[in-house]
Structure 1
């Protein structure tokens, strides 16, 4: 199991899904749903891969494992009628993966507090310009503490409009730490690690996968997708 640890950084509604073109040429846009669902190429520049990369963040495991598996699922399963349903189908595929694949998948999301190399949507979600240097330094330390506690995982949370300062507090609560702005307290090497594959580790892995799904669904409105409210 150590071989991969260190390498990791329901059907929807029946209404027509409408994608609204962005007024900014550099803003991302989802392909039309019919184009995405009919793509069986498995190519990185195919409609399915492009859609999944926008919703979940691009990564080798997304292109090499999720895209072909989801393409096969789409052809065999009941019709997918919305992008929300496509996300649910993707999560169903991911749920059947072994733990190492799931950990690689969530590792494609940037760490909370990263300010460089972010995708267009991640930068919006993390509100980079509204964060003080002290909070960013604290988040960097908390990420290191978290990754010491849960080897092979990175901290994933559905930001949902919250500031990085609020996420800092959430991370401290999750790690049972006092709220602070210290960039080096507690020492990382003093954080106790849980057993990889153990109950606590796997519970955190599954929570992170669920939050990746919540993030993907929240991106639909940002990307101009309208769906009718579920009953």
Structure 2
């Protein structure tokens, strides 16, 4: 895993700047991060006092994302992989999700359950993907967390309840907005956890 660039170089305005690379690593890369967040933060950093820490950078980034319209915020969180995905993961995501762990691989029924729950969640909350700060929990533990979050019985069924039974929440409703806000904040928690794993603040 490549080290983070120096804080002094973060304010560079180059397209593939240290800021873009740092945010892509800590927050997961996405088109909206590159095209909107990076330029906004470059301008803010250029006109403000030098950064004191990477944690401060994450706080600035999340605060800026929270000012966006909800569609852009939804695009931002969709840069994170779904819980239980096993392919095309960043190094950080693979480590956090325990992907490729030969000592304790995730049972296939747990992966199938997660795939179903993700699909159910996305029908319940249109335009959103389920984001959670895993914080060391196994995928099996996250299954139970997500079931509780959705008000579902604990199960290892790969198709229960049916996706058709998921009643969509209205986009822009309080419940939908609360879920979006929680997801954005959890992206920040994940990023700060990644800093700790690198031994930096």
Measured against the shorter chain, the TM-score band is: over 0.9
Look up the SS of the partner of 1:53 in the other structure.
Answer: helix
Look up the SS of the partner of 2:154 in the other structure.
Answer: coil
Contact in 1 for aligned 2:7/2:51 (Cα 8 Å): no
| Segments ≥4 residues shifted beyond 6 Å | none
The aligned counterpart of 1:138 is 113
The aligned counterpart of 1:124 is 95
The aligned counterpart of 2:7 is 33
Aligned-residue offset at 1:79: 3.4
List aligned pairs for 1:148-167, cutoff 5 A: 148-167=123-142
Deviations 1:28-54 (A, max 9, x none): 321111111x3122x1x2111000001
Over the residues paired in the alignment, what is the CA RMSD in angstroms? Answer: 1.0
Aligned-residue offset at 1:186: 0.4
List aligned pairs for 1:25-64, cutoff 5 A: 27-36=1-10, 38-41=11-14, 43=15, 45-64=16-35
Q: State the alpha-carbon separation in 1 of the partners of residues 95 and 85 from structure 2.
A: 12
TM-score by length of 1: 0.83
- Name the structure, 1 or 2, with higher relative contact order (CA <8 Å, separation 6+): 1
Look up the SS of the partner of 1:34 in the other structure.
Answer: helix
Q: Residue 110 in 1 paired to residue 81 in 2?
A: yes
Deviations 1:118-147 (A, max 9, x none): 000000000123311010000000000000
The aligned counterpart of 2:40 is 69
Contact in 1 for aligned 2:8/2:50 (Cα 8 Å): no
Q: State the alpha-carbon separation in 2 of the partners of residues 153 and 222 from structure 1.
A: 27
Q: Structure 2, unaligned stretches of length 5 or more?
A: none
Q: Structure 1, unaligned stretches of length 5 or more?
A: 1-26
Contact in 2 for aligned 1:103/1:152 (Cα 8 Å): yes
Q: How many residues align?
A: 197
